[in-house]
Chain A
Amino acid sequence: MSQTAAAHPQLDPTLALPFPQAALPVLRNPQLRRNVAHAIDVIQAKRSLLVAEKTDWQQLRQAASAIRAHALDNLAYYLEQFETRCTAAGGTVHWAADAAEARQIILDLLRQESATEVIKIKTMTSAEIQLNPSLEAAGIRVFETDLAELILQLGNDEPSHIVVPALHVNRSQVREIFARRMGLENLSDDPQALTAAARTYLRRKFLTVPAAIGGANFLIAETGSVAVIESEGNGRMCLTLPRTLITLAGIEKVLPRFQDLAVMLQVLARSATGERMNPYTSLWTGITPGDGPQRFHVVLLDNQRSSILSRPIERQTLKCIRCAACMNACPVYRQTGGHAYGSVYPGPIGAILTPQLMRMQHAKSLPYASSLCGACYEVCPVKINIPEVLIDLRAKVTDQERGRFNRFLDPMYLGMKIANFLFAKAWRFRAAQRLARIGLRLFTAGDGWIHSLPGLGAKWTQTRDLRGLPSETFRNWWAARTPVSVESNKEAK
């Protein structure tokens, strides 16, 4: 437990450490790595079973991808349609250009309600705009109602996954947090008992707090409806009981029609939690007299999304339906967990989304936090080619660095410049090979491997061995053995 309490994870990309440094504490924490690996193994096993039983999985992916791409291509059209229909049904639509404006709109709405407390459905978008701290600073007490979010809130921790935000915390850690914060000394660490404790703790709040804040899995342009997909029923509580409901949604969440959910719901739960369907999905349209909140506001958040839209390769980032299949499949995430990404959006999708939300000014190490193995692309239900975007973002980072005056002090830059010079002429390359063979012989051990190098080379040998150079280059070998056979091969064709 001490790990989470001692080092509060930094998920503000403007303050977070670069990924390689941020990952170190996790890599040195075997308990944390076990927790993450266990959770991911369970989800992955369930997901692959349920995806395999779907004989039209690839067709569903194709349709889901096409619907999301179409919605983004026509985003202004569908946003205006959503606004018109939602307003006609009694909702109020607000537009927030950035995080600060969204926070201010929500704060003003809560002040109009004279709210001193607010209940919340899990929404990563609210974490993106750092809503909770700003509400607390304004004297409004926030109650997270999703079990995982409650664990994190009471434990003063941060989410490490977008679907199972507390997957890095195990049952005895949850027991410790609940016992301390709910005053339940004799609480057992049985998940059933822990869940029951959360139910009791929140029940009163559901019944009495007059305002709720939630996100949106989808906004339906055709009807002006909002969809929330969940498991526990805390969402339904927040959507039904308070007199005022505020929905915070990124502008990219729009689907053209109600029927599009026939595709999205078939791929989302399978990808996210390895279920055929999540226990509860709610859709509502503005205000319904006598049923649910009688004041309903939607805050549509841009916060850099419109500029992501303008770049053809990066645009696909916004197709994301937040299922987290990419992080569950990612060999890097499996080792580091979510906090290392320094963002509320971890894993492969976070590695492409976060730097773009930061206008490429922060989180610039994230596009490199990947082996480009492509597992994320393979599982993505809306076919986001994450490796393609990663490479493009790496190019953008490199372009930025190319313009920097102090680039000549960067060993990587100098190394690449030298390589460029050497590779440009065959004779330079051959000479360099010859010199390297002589130089490296000093460090090559009897077993043919280099175990340690000085200076920059140490960065490699600290974590892995390097094979010594062979006595003959491929080009020399080829020149000595094969000129005749190449010619005869050509003639044979």
Chain B
Amino acid sequence: MSAPPTSRQRILDRVRQSTHSSADPDYNPETAYAALPRTFILRGQLTAEVRIQLMIERLREYGAEVVECLPEVLPASIAAQLAASAKQTFAAPLGLAAEWLAGGFNWKVDDGLRIEEIEAVEGVVTAAFCGVANSGTIALHHSVTEGRRVLTLLPDWHLCILRASQVVETLPEYFDRCHVPPNLVTWISGPSATADIEMTRIQGVHGPRFLHVILVRDVV
């Protein structure tokens, strides 16, 4: 069931009457859009190394734990992070590389886990789509290595694997990397937080309280 068609028509008619788009027959919204001013900074100026350092600094400002590692020791680095968490049960997206699922832990691979099962795990390990250094933002597009949205939401502890080659400096550069707009997006800038009580920043409201990032130095 939907609203009576009359409301749709009435609203659109009123909007058209109120705006100029119907007045000029040659007017094209797409042409007008292309002409909008875009003089803000599009590309970053930092060297790769400084960009990575900025990403790490921003993540740490948000209270996220960051470690760096070389690609060949990534599985060992993941295992070390899991061990240091003192947790036992972890969820993983279906497409996560098998060597990332360190031995000695209880893994729940998401082949359609029920909500209760995800709620019961202690942590989750995922990949990421992109990192934006300026704001310390991690973008998830929820592919098979990044997991369904609920997977990085319910567990209290999130270990995110971000490659140096995925880190851009500015937000517009992230949008350049999206050749097709993604269907699902979660941008994460630090752990869940609130300042609703006397503007005191409190970490960990409903989302994961602990965000850990392994920055894989795949470009030097």
State A70–B33 Cα separation when bound (angstroms). 7
Q: How far is the CB of A254 from chain B (nearest CB, A)?
A: 11
A300 at the interface (CB under 8 A from B): yes
| Residue with the greatest number of chain A CB neighbours at <10 A, chosen from B112, B189, B193, B194 | B194
Contact partner of B185 (CB less than 8 A), chosen from A55, A199, A281, is A281
A292 at the interface (CB under 8 A from B): yes
Q: Are B14 and A307 in contact (CB under 8 A)?
A: yes
Q: Are A277 and B18 in contact (CB under 8 A)?
A: no
Which of B34-42, B122-130, B212-220 faces chain A?
B34-42
State A256–B29 Cα separation when bound (angstroms). 10
A195 at the interface (CB under 8 A from B): yes
For A207, what are the chain B residues with a Cβ–Cβ distance below 8 Å?
A: 115-116, 119
Dominant secondary structure at the A interface:
helix
A234 at the interface (CB under 8 A from B): yes
B interface size (C-beta, 8 A): 73
For B178, what are the chain A residues with a Cβ–Cβ distance below 8 Å?
A: 258
Assuming the contacts A74-B29, A77-B29, A281-B187, asked whether A63 and B18 have C-beta atoms less than 8 A apart, the reply is no
Which of B71-79, B98-106, B201-209 faces chain A?
B201-209
B26 at the interface (CB under 8 A from A): no
Q: B13-39 interface mask toward A, CB cutoff 8 Å, 1 = contact, 0 = none?
A: 011111111100000010011001111
Q: How far is the CB of B116 from chain A (nearest CB, A)?
A: 8
State A174–B200 Cα separation when bound (angstroms). 13
A288 at the interface (CB under 8 A from B): yes
Q: A446-465 interface mask toward B, CB cutoff 8 Å, 1 = contact, 0 = none?
A: 00000000000000000000
Contact partner of B188 (CB less than 8 A), chosen from A76, A256, A280, A283, is A280
B137 at the interface (CB under 8 A from A): yes
* Closest Cβ neighbor of A220 among chain B residues: B181
Q: Are B14 and A174 in contact (CB under 8 A)?
A: no
Segment 149-170 of B: residues with Cβ below 8 Å from A: 149-150, 153
For A233, what are the chain B residues with a Cβ–Cβ distance below 8 Å?
A: 153, 192, 205-208
B89 at the interface (CB under 8 A from A): no
Q: Are A279 and B190 in contact (CB under 8 A)?
A: yes
State A279–B142 Cα separation when bound (angstroms). 17
Q: How far is the CB of B128 from chain A (nearest CB, A)?
A: 14
A375 at the interface (CB under 8 A from B): no
State A443–B38 Cα separation when bound (angstroms). 61
B12 at the interface (CB under 8 A from A): yes
B86 at the interface (CB under 8 A from A): no
State A331–B1 Cα separation when bound (angstroms). 48
Q: Are B175 and A275 in contact (CB under 8 A)?
A: no
Segment 165-185 of B: residues with Cβ below 8 Å from A: 171-172, 174-175, 178, 181-185
A79 at the interface (CB under 8 A from B): yes
For B7, what are the chain A residues with a Cβ–Cβ distance below 8 Å?
A: 95-97, 101, 302
Q: Are B197 and A194 in contact (CB under 8 A)?
A: yes
Q: Are A279 and B11 in contact (CB under 8 A)?
A: no
B53 at the interface (CB under 8 A from A): no
Q: Are A232 and B194 in contact (CB under 8 A)?
A: yes
State A176–B137 Cα separation when bound (angstroms). 36
Q: Are B150 and A279 in contact (CB under 8 A)?
A: no
Q: Are B198 and A234 in contact (CB under 8 A)?
A: no
For A306, what are the chain B residues with a Cβ–Cβ distance below 8 Å?
A: 11, 14-15, 18
Q: Are B2 and A241 in contact (CB under 8 A)?
A: no
Q: Are B33 and A256 in contact (CB under 8 A)?
A: yes
For B32, what are the chain A residues with a Cβ–Cβ distance below 8 Å?
A: 70, 73-74
Assuming the contacts A73-B20, A199-B206, asked whether A279 and B189 have C-beta atoms less than 8 A apart, the reply is yes
Give A contacts to B, CB under 8 Å: 35, 38-39, 42-43, 55-56, 59-60, 62-63, 66-67, 70, 72-80, 89, 92-97, 101, 105, 108, 112, 145-148, 151, 164, 166-167, 170-171, 174, 191-192, 194-195, 198-199, 202-203, 206-207, 220, 222-223, 225, 231-234, 236-237, 239-241, 251, 256-259, 261-263, 265-266, 273, 275-285, 288, 290-292, 299-300, 302, 306-307, 309-310
Can you give 9 contacting A-B residue pairs, CB < 8 Å? Answer: A73-B21, A77-B21, A89-B183, A199-B205, A232-B207, A236-B186, A257-B33, A257-B181, A280-B207
The 4 lowest CB-CB distance pairs between A and B, nearest first, are: A233-B207, A310-B18, A233-B206, A232-B205
Give B contacts to A, CB under 8 Å: 1-3, 7-8, 10-12, 14-22, 29, 32-33, 36-41, 58, 62, 112, 115-116, 119, 132, 134-137, 142, 148-150, 153, 171-172, 174-175, 178, 181-200, 202, 204-208
